[in-house]
Amino acid sequence: MTVWFVVAVPLVMMFFALAMERVESRLKHVAVQEEEVEEFLEQARPNEVRALYGHGIGRALELFRLRRLGGRAAKLRSRRAQD
């Protein structure tokens, strides 16, 4: 009985560690980066702060990214118009 316990516990721990590694790798792609949160907190507009309060950081960062991309798109359009 003890032999089975000695063999089974390390195997169970190894499979658990492998499963947690897979979970961690999936979460790493979904997680919010620290730099993004810092930039959001420094430059957020009132509607983005309301989204943070009402819907969480994911929706607030989505609005923030859209605003930043909109600004970049406007800059590119103005550069192309000047050329």
In angstroms, the CA 29 to CA 63 distance is 19
In a 13 Å sphere around the CA of 20, the CA atoms on its Cβ side amount to 6
> Which among 62, 66, 68, 70 is positioned nearest to 32, based on CA atoms?
62
CB 44 within 8 A of CB 60: yes
| Domain boundaries defined on the chain | 1-44, 47-82
Average pLDDT along the chain, 83 residues, taken 10 residues at a time: 88 94 80 79 84 84 84 52 51
Prediction pTM value? 0.47
Whose CA is closest to 33, among 66, 54, 63, 57? Answer: 57
